[in-house]
Amino acid sequence: MSEAAVSFPPARVGADIDTIDTPALLLDLDVFERNLEALDRSLAGRRVRLRPHAKAHKCPEIARRQVARGAVGICCQKVSEAEVFVESGIADVLVVNEIVGAAKLARLARLAGRAAVGVCVDDEGNVGELAQAAADAGSRLDVLVEVDVGANRCGVPPGPSVLALARRVAASSRLRFAGLQAYHGRAQHLRAPEERRAAIRGAVDELRATLALLEANGLPAAMVTGAGTGTYELEADSGVYTELQPGSYVFMDADYGRNLDADGRPVSRFAQSLFVLATVMSRTRPSRAVVDAGLKAHSVDSGMPLVCGVPGARYTRPSDEHGVIELDGPGTLVLGQKVRLIPGHCDPTVNLHDWLICVRGRLVEDIWPIAARGAFF
Amino acid sequence: MSEAAVSFPPARVGADIDTIDTPALLLDLDVFERNLEALDRSLAGRRVRLRPHAKAHKCPEIARRQVARGAVGICCQKVSEAEVFVESGIADVLVVNEIVGAAKLARLARLAGRAAVGVCVDDEGNVGELAQAAADAGSRLDVLVEVDVGANRCGVPPGPSVLALARRVAASSRLRFAGLQAYHGRAQHLRAPEERRAAIRGAVDELRATLALLEANGLPAAMVTGAGTGTYELEADSGVYTELQPGSYVFMDADYGRNLDADGRPVSRFAQSLFVLATVMSRTRPSRAVVDAGLKAHSVDSGMPLVCGVPGARYTRPSDEHGVIELDGPGTLVLGQKVRLIPGHCDPTVNLHDWLICVRGRLVEDIWPIAARGAFF
């Protein structure tokens, strides 16, 4: 077990962009910073708190910038992610997911002794295990009941099931009923704005009734948290959500790029800041270029990456270490040329890389470790 | 840049399988060893050498076992992979891929001073760069010309283009023309045996003519290397291939499991040794269980994983950290239960994990680092 992976960044700070080895994960800092500003601007005057989802970036440098701009903390999906972010100085970390299993629960409860740590539940037995883990660790945990408002994944249905779980949580001296987790994941990628609006309206109506039920039973929910990059303004305006969890807005991806605004044009608030830089490594046919970035450098679960700045170029076929790009004509892309790809889906793509190479113009300005890469426990 | 990912294995040697934290990559050692034996047995008496593809496992412990059983060395796709395997004691490493870019070429040429290292070319300019890098490093490189025999990816067409490149290689005192790389990737996953046979027959016919052309011009190819788990016996019997490169046979996956034999049954020489162990983390609807293994724990590029040992259970919907399993009835899968998933595609799944948890029966017998995880440079 002594052989660790050789991991060193594929670039040097201060070097020209052309010296970056590939495949590399590139962050355009100008665009990234504009995305941070655009989110803040869109929430100005709205009475909701921002808790960005760190599962998208897995990067303490980004989390610290988000908190420095006013985010209350971050959320994440896994205990091992939470450990990385607490370790890096984030004081308020919400695990917006259920945590099952003795090893994970013990680590979560210990972490709650070092920072404000919260977690979600959707099962009565799990509430008991959480309370026991907190008692064993001598800590207290904030607990949110997860409500399934349309994601069809985790969470209990709105209404009496939520009240029953909230009562279980409130009955434990080691747990504090902190509110509701209500993330409508499916709504994020509905293409038309009226579809997204209808989905969130349905979620909000159900939440409102559930909140009234809790209130009537002496268990008001101090926090209602959820929302993603595709819908967060709808949750912000709902009067129900108190916290928003967008994550992808810092990067964007090809799939989010297919969301449309009311005029049928791509939603343009956020721009693409994240790229996989690849090199043309084979060029033996006029209409085909092969790049060195395949399934191990970006995720194709939400479709193929887009090729930037090469008219008519289509990334059509990934294999483990290769990507085949079909070309309209022989005049574009030469051997050794570097190409920017827009990943199909940013979150699982980031998770394939150890380093985020931060560029401004043609300069490598910084290199940020993706410290929670692989932190899926 | 000081923050490294917290990475520790999700299990302890000597512990029971139920104590493994999830998601974890599990190797069933009994099956794995039978797969190694089955490959050797199938090649007994055949005059071909075995050079397993290490891109599948990225694990020095496995490479050493393959070499100990008689493999001539390993092949891999990337210079950084080759570095890991040379470092771990493998003396003969063939990069069966084109290497483009000054940084990579310099590292490759340096590595050739420490082990027998070969590489592929499909471009005349690249031959010159290889020769320069070898001269700069004071080393010599074995060079194979890659022939496109149907993969439609890298490589030059069979025939005169191969001869032209071989001449360029042979003209350099720093390079040695070692033969041909001819991998028919697409043929590996053709479902019917007659389709696979026809594809490889076509490749062999083209190779035979090309080999005669090389021979007639005083440049005999000492080595013809290629083949994968789906077709390697066809290449072994071809009289043309001298080396075979199967990789997935040590693990298998759901996609290879769809290949059929002459009787229309799944090919059964190799069995599934690789699993993603997941935990049921949410169970709020009778017909739905949610596990803690999503897109960051296995790759869905070749289809969804299969659920082992749970009749009627279908993994239908992955998200970043979750997998939704649809169930025929409420009686199966309880919260906290551990489930084995057969990955849709083994190579990119292995690349998501840092550790291979090796089990025999119910015991964790060993933990092997996936040392070349993320080595895509």
ipTM of the complex in this document: 0.96
Total length of chain B:
377
Closest alpha carbon within chain B to A4 = B371
A151-170: per-residue pLDDT in tens? 999 999 999 999 999 999 99
Largest Cα separation within chain A, whole Å, is 72
pLDDT score of B275: 98
Chain B residues with CB-CB distance to A293 below 8 A: 376
Q: Quickly list DSSP for B205-249.
A: HHHHHHHHHHHHTT---SEEEE--TTTHHHHHTSSS-SEE---GG
pLDDT score of B288: 96
pLDDT score of A7: 66
The model's confidence at residue A329, banded by pLDDT at 50, 70 and 90, is: confident
Closest alpha carbon within chain A to B99 = A281
CB within 8 Å: B301 and A297? no
Domain A46-250, architecture per CATH = Alpha-Beta Barrel (3.20)
A176-185: per-residue pLDDT in tens? 999 999 999 9
Residue A46 token pair: 């709205």
Helix axes B60-68 and B79-87, enclosed angle (nearest 10): 70
Report the percentage of chain B scoring pLDDT > 70: 98
Q: How far is A232 from chain B (nearest CA, A)?
A: 19
Q: Is B17-25+268-369's fold the same as B46-252's?
A: no
Distance, CA of A80 to CA of A99 (rounded, Å): 11
Identify which of B1, B97, B375 has the shortest CB distance to residue A5: B375
Residue A5 pLDDT exceeds 70 = no
Distance, CA of B57 to CA of B346 (rounded, Å): 8
Mean pLDDT across the stretch B110-116?
96
Mean pLDDT across the stretch A138-150?
97
Domain B46-252, architecture per CATH = Alpha-Beta Barrel (3.20)
**First and final CA of chain B: distance in angstroms?**
19
Residues 6+ apart with CB under 8 A from A57: A63, A247, A250, A251, A350, A356, A370
User: Hey, which bits of chain B come out as E strands?
Assistant: 24-28, 49-50, 74-76, 92-98, 116-121, 141-146, 175-181, 223-226, 243-244, 274-285, 288-291, 306-307, 314-318, 323-326, 338-342, 355-360, 363-369
Residues 6+ apart with CB under 8 A from B248: B53, B56, B228, B229, B256, B346, B347
Best residue in B3, B16, B130 for a mutation probing chain A (most A CBs within 10 Å): B3
Q: Which residues of B130-141 are buried (b: 16+ CB within 10 A; e: fewer)?
A: bbbbbeebebbb
Taking domain A17-25+268-369, whether its CATH number is 3.40.1160.10 is answered by no
The CA dihedral of B41, B43, B46, B47, to the nearest 10 degrees, is -130
Domain map (residue ranges) of chain B: 17-25+268-369, 46-252
Closest alpha carbon within chain A to B18 = A101
User: Please, what is the average pLDDT of chain B?
Assistant: 96
pLDDT score of B3: 45
| Among A164, A165, A156, CA closest to A207 | A156
B306-335: per-residue pLDDT in tens? 999 999 999 999 999 999 999 987 668 999
Q: For the CA atoms of chain A, what is the radius of gyration? A: 22
B340-354: per-residue pLDDT in tens? 999 999 999 999 999
CB within 8 Å: B280 and A369? no
What are φ and ψ of residue B35, in 5° steps? Answer: -65, -45
CB within 8 Å: A5 and B377? no
3-class secondary-structure state, position A204? helix
Distance, CA of A148 to CA of A181 (rounded, Å): 9
Give B98's strand partners: B120
Can you give A94-160 as a three-state secondary structure string? EEEEECCCHHHHHHHHHHCCCCEEEEEECCHHHHHHHHHHHHHHCCCEEEEEEECCCCCCCCECCCH
CB atoms within 10 A of CB A44: 6
Chain A residues with CB-CB distance to B299 below 8 A: 295, 299
B194-203: per-residue pLDDT in tens? 999 999 999 9
Closest alpha carbon within chain A to B320 = A348
Residue B1 pLDDT exceeds 90 = no
3-class secondary-structure state, position A198? helix
B60-74: per-residue pLDDT in tens? 999 999 999 999 999
Distance, CA of B149 to CA of B255 (rounded, Å): 22
Mean pLDDT across the stretch A51-58?
98
Question: Left (φ > 0), alpha (ψ -120 to 50) or beta: where does B193 sit?
Answer: alpha
B200-228: per-residue pLDDT in tens? 999 999 999 999 999 999 999 999 999 99
Nearest 5°: the CA angle B131, B116, B215 is 65
Identify which of A3, A80, A369 has the shortest CB distance to residue B4: A369
Residue A246 pLDDT exceeds 90 = yes
Q: Quickly list DSSP for A174-196.
A: TEEEEEEE---GGGGG-SSHHHH
pLDDT score of A8: 82
Residue B113 pLDDT exceeds 90 = yes
CB within 8 Å: A156 and B284? yes
What are φ and ψ of residue A336, in 5° steps? Answer: 90, -10
Best residue in B21, B80, B253, B364 for a mutation probing chain A (most A CBs within 10 Å): B21
Distance, CA of B342 to CA of B237 (rounded, Å): 31
**Dihedral of CA A162/A163/A168/A174: which sign?**
positive
Residue A4 pLDDT exceeds 60 = no
User: Please, what is the average pLDDT of chain A?
Assistant: 96
Best residue in A110, A165, A292, A338 for a mutation probing chain B (most B CBs within 10 Å): A292
CB atoms within 10 A of CB B110: 18
